[in-house]
């Protein structure tokens, strides 16, 4: 298990969305495993682009939320903070309704950087977006 707090549950981390863009667009954490964090987001008027499809930026918000929170759950937050350095996303399928679910898994967990793979799927478990997030781990001031 990669998490700093070995007993962490999705309901423990949901408050991190309070008063953030994640709350505004309806992101919720749904599962946490030994080496992954999962969450979902509605595909509706809050996350659509003008053609009625899931906005690529909304997919990036889901990906960055999952990857950043996962990174924060690995570190000792009393000593360190984590901040996003770079996000990359390939949008491979359009979605008009329902929910998309993202799963963040580590590619690299180092002392000063983490790299996370985030795969977003639709309700039929078809791949919608592949994203990679690089996070810097900094000493807390």
Q: How far apart are CA 138 and CA 141, in angstroms?
A: 9
Output the pLDDT for position 141. 86
* pLDDT, tens digit (0-9, with 9 covering 90-100), for 73-105: 999 999 999 999 999 999 999 999 999 999 999
> What total number of domains does the chain contain?
1
Examine residue 3 and state whether it is found in any structural domain, yes or no.
no
* pLDDT, tens digit (0-9, with 9 covering 90-100), for 4-54: 999 999 999 999 999 999 999 999 999 999 999 999 999 999 999 999 999
Examine residue 5 and state whether it is found in any structural domain, yes or no.
no
CA angle at 38 for the pair 28 and 29, rounded to the nearest 5°: 20
**HEC letters along the chain:** CCCCCCCCCHHHHHHHHCCCHHHHCCCEEEEECCCCEEEEEECCCCCECCCCCECHHHHHHHHHHHHHHHHHHHCCCCCEEEEEEEEEEEECCCCCCCEEEEEEEEEEECCCEEEEEEEEECCCCCEEEEEEEEEEEEECC
Report strand pairing: 99-109 vs 28-32.
Answer: unpaired
Among candidate residues 23, 28, 64, 86, the one labeled active-site is 64
Examine residue 18 and state whether it is found in any structural domain, yes or no.
yes
Q: Which domain holds residue 121?
A: 10-139
Query: What's the pTM?
Result: 0.95
The yes-or-no answer on residue 64 being catalytic is yes
Examine residue 125 and state whether it is found in any structural domain, yes or no.
yes
CATH number, domain containing residue 68: 3.10.129.10
Give Cα 74 to chain centroid, integer Å: 14
Examine residue 95 and state whether it is found in any structural domain, yes or no.
yes
Average pLDDT over residues 102-128: 98
């Amino acid at each position: 298990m990669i998490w700093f707090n070995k007993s962490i549950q999705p309901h423990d981390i949901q408050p991190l969305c309070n008063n953030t863009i994640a709350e505004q667009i309806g992101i919720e954490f749904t599962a946490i495993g030994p080496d992954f964090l999962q969450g979902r987001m509605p595909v509706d008027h809050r996350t659509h682009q003008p053609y009625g499809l899931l906005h690529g930026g909304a997919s990036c918000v889901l990906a960055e939320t999952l990857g950043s929170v996962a990174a924060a759950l690995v570190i000792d937050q009393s000593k360190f903070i984590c901040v996003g350095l770079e996000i990359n996303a390939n949008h491979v399928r359009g979605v008009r309704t329902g929910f998309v679910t993202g799963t963040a898994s580590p590619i690299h967990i180092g002392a000063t950087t983490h790299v996370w793979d985030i795969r977003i799927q639709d309700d039929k478990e078809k791949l919608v977006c592949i994203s990679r997030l690089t996070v810097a781990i900094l000493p807390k001031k």
